[in-house]
Amino acid sequence: MKKLFKPFSLVLVIATLMSLIPTPVFAQEVNGNLANSMGPLTLIPPIVAIILAFATKNVVLSLFLGIFTGTVVIQYAGGANMLLGILYGFTDIVDYVLASLADPWNAGIILQVLVIGGLIALITSTGGARAIAESLAKKAKGPVSTQLITWVLGLMIFFDDYANALIVGPIMRPVSDKMKISRERLAFLIDATAAPIAGIALISTWIGYEVGLINDAFQSIGQDVNAYGIFLQTIPYRFYNILMLFFVLITSVTLREFGPMRKAQKRSRDTHELIAKGSHMENQDEELEVVVKGKTSVWNALIPIGSLIVFSFVGFYTNGRQAILDSNNAAVIQVIENSPFSFVSMREAFGASDASVVLFQAALIASIIALIMGVSQGHFTFGKGIDIWVNGMKTLMITGVILLLAWSLSGVMGELGTADYLVSLLSGTMPPVLLPTFIFLLGAIISFATGTSYGTMGILMPLAIPLATAMQPGNPDFVIMSTGAVLTGAIFGDHASPISDTTILSSMGAGSNLMDHVKTQLPYAVAVAIISILFGYIPTAFGMSVMLALPIGMIAIVAVIFIFGKKIDTTDNLSEE
């Protein structure tokens, strides 16, 4: 009860303060954006959720109380007194959760998470996970090669950040555990190669959304551009994405760590505790262990996982192609019909696909394949296989709960206009050379507070491109740089946020406690972000070539790692020098 007292006390304090503020008349504004009228009160939900998440390490409670304070603020804005505001605010939580679950995209994401959990359980039960771990272990001679293999796998699953988080973790976890690499470090490896690579890949589930935002923003200022061409030009300016991938590579090769990650690696090396004591993920592996009957083979893992990837690619194309054919975009339809397998067609189809549906379908097919393989090889009966699959889904049930609450919190903040208030609060006159940096920081703050990179991109892109065009007319590089800053700042904030879905999925995939993952990853994300600003956006805004800024940024990354980091070889039980 003592652990719950402080969070509820915080909510009570907020409610008391709100009750002391004269209740304004919002009757005409309740159905609109409350950002202008509520001001700083719109920041209460994300602040409560984030502070409590760090303070209590209980993400479910923190998100719930964040939603609750948000619904109370909304009721307060409608003119309700504090008692009724608390009462109706509590009942409104159900409405937001149901609305989140009713969204087809959200429902598809939860289904794919659960089904992939069942798939991993089947692969584990047939011995496929153990066999592939033993096979990889032959190549992974130590922590360096293990982390490099994880990094490469992360780059290979470039087409979707969710698939990356849920595939790489379960594959590499046994090998990583054998090398005494902490679960926090594994979660970082996964998270740092999920959104950063999916956001800049030439073909991925992100591209259609990003290109669409770019196109709409340019059209709003009367310019008809090749949006995909603009996207390609932003890639060198995606400093955070590129430098984070480089940061992971260098720290993996040198084994140098700093901050909380260094402590986690020392704990894993010296005490063999892969997960910090008291973490909620400690018994996850035992829940998935099933005695294997018969000979194990790497094909028991490679075939189901390979089918997941293959059917994902096929699904992205067919689903996106059908969506395009059903649309009114005559130009793209003509390209799809005339050259169905050209690069342009593939790019457009992937961008138009519904990743939530496709990945769910692919995971279901892969599960059926894994089930048939397990039964045919005598590892379990058909009925037992179904039980294993269902039990595997149960292990990721908490992930679904957290995602639902995170989406509900996002819905509350959307109604309050939290992001709009942040934009109005932080915007103002500034020197043009600082605009890309400002956009990057603003995107980071919004995405960190809201836990969504997509939503942040959608808010800032229509503002950034017209603003950059007006500040430096006739300078296309400046506009492209500012466009890249929107996309990259959103990914940085999302990467660091404890309420981000990709952060949640990465920790679950690695078998790490969520808040342990956030605390160890945050200093690394901030360090790379600072380097991205100091050696990326500021010098390029002053006219430095991006092809010169990128190598300088990489040198800065190496310098930071060697200055602040110390080598932690988790296979070395000797005391640190």
Domain contains 51: yes
Domain contains 46: yes
* Count of structural domains, the chain: 1
Sign of CA dihedral 208, 209, 214, 215: positive
Question: In terms of C-beta density within 10 A (0-12 exposed, 13-18 middle, 19 or more buried), how is residue 466 classed?
Answer: middle
CB 350 within 8 A of CB 316: yes
Spatial separation of the C-alpha atoms in residues 376 and 389, rounded to whole Å? 16
Domain range for 57: 2-102
Highest mean pLDDT among 105-119, 251-265, 410-424: 251-265
- Is the confidence at residue 135, as pLDDT, over 80? no
Spatial separation of the C-alpha atoms in residues 474 and 111, rounded to whole Å? 48
**pLDDT value at position 141?**
81
Domain contains 16: yes
Which residue intervals of 255-298 are DSSP H helices? 260-271, 284-288
Rg for the chain (alpha carbons), in Å?
A: 24
Q: Three-class SS string for 36-57?
A: HHHHHHHHHHHHHHHHHHHHHC
Spatial separation of the C-alpha atoms in residues 161 and 231, rounded to whole Å? 18
Calculate the dihedral angle through the C-alpha atoms of 207, 210, 216, 221, rounding to the nearest 10 degrees: -120
Domain contains 278: no
- Give which of 427, 432, 456, 446 is closest to 543, Cα–Cα: 432
Model pTM greater than 0.75?
A: no
Please, what's the b/e burial string for 271-291 (b: 16 or more CB within 10 A of its CB; e: otherwise)? Answer: eebbbbeebbbbebbeebebe
Q: What is the DSSP string of 307-333?
A: HHHHHHHHHHHHHHHHHHHTSS-HHHH
User: What's the token pair of residue 41?
Assistant: 């009160």
Domain contains 89: yes
Domain contains 64: yes
- 161-203 pLDDT, tens digit per residue, is 877 787 788 888 888 998 899 999 999 999 999 889 888 887 6
Size of the chain, expressed as the number of residues it contains: 577
- DSSP annotation of 157: S
Spatial separation of the C-alpha atoms in residues 470 and 429, rounded to whole Å? 13
- Average pLDDT over the chain reads 80
- Give which of 96, 155, 20, 36 is closest to 411, Cα–Cα: 96
- 373-409 pLDDT, tens digit per residue, is 988 888 888 888 899 899 888 866 776 787 788 778 8
Domain contains 20: yes
Where does the pLDDT of residue 10 fall: very low under 50, low under 70, confident under 90, or very high at 90 and above? low
Where does the pLDDT of residue 292 fall: very low under 50, low under 70, confident under 90, or very high at 90 and above? low
Domain contains 283: no
**pLDDT value at position 574?**
39
- Is the confidence at residue 232, as pLDDT, over 90? no
- Is the confidence at residue 86, as pLDDT, over 60? yes
Highest mean pLDDT among 139-153, 524-538, 562-576: 524-538
